[in-house]
């Protein structure tokens, strides 16, 4: 699962929903542990595998205005808590 | 984490990175995009 969420809070919410289940218990995935590997597209492990010209064209601009480090930390924390490799 | 050969769900958001942009990135890394979508909460 690759996310394009705009901040740390939404990234954490999405990531938790597809790993441990919907933390807000509001949707169909409440209590459903999918355990999917989840990353944000701006995280280094993803960024380094994307063709540089494609990343530059589609993501680089948003990376400059979003809190990329906070987002990466939020998603990494969810992975760690769900037992996935960081 | 290796994207090459993996099946990917691209979950974009209008105020962040759009699903189509994530999908392009994933394809360039050798992944197969099985679903791409962009949410808008406005």
Quick check: B17 and A41 CB within 8 A? yes
Quick check: B16 and A85 CB within 8 A? no
Instruction: Find residue B39's DSSP bridge partners.
Output: B13
List the domain range (segments joined by +) for residue A77. 2-81
Contact between A43 and A72 under an 8 Å Cβ cutoff? The reply is: yes
How many distinct structural domains can be found in chain A?
A: 1
**A3 Cβ under 8 Å from any chain B Cβ:** yes
Domain map (residue ranges) of chain B: 7-39
pLDDT tens digits, residue range B1-42?
Answer: 899 999 999 999 999 999 999 999 999 999 999 999 999 987
pLDDT score at A86: 60
Q: Checking phi first, is residue A27 left (phi over 0); if not, alpha (psi -120 to 50) or beta?
A: beta
């Amino acid at each position: 699962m690759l996310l394009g969420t705009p901040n740390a809070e939404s990234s954490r919410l999405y990531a938790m929903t597809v790993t441990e289940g919907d933390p807000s218990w509001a949707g169909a995935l409440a209590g459903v542990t999918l355990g999917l590997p989840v990353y944000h597209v701006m995280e280094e492990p993803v960024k380094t595998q994307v063709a540089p010209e494609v990343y530059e064209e589609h993501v680089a601009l948003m990376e400059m205005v979003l809190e990329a480090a906070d987002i990466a930390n939020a998603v990494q924390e969810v992975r760690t808590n769900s037992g996935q490799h960081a | 984490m290796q994207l090459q050969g993996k099946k990917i769900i691209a979950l974009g958001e209008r105020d962040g990175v759009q699903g189509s942009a994530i999908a392009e990135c994933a394809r360039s890394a050798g992944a197969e995009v099985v679903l791409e979508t962009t949410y808008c909460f406005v």
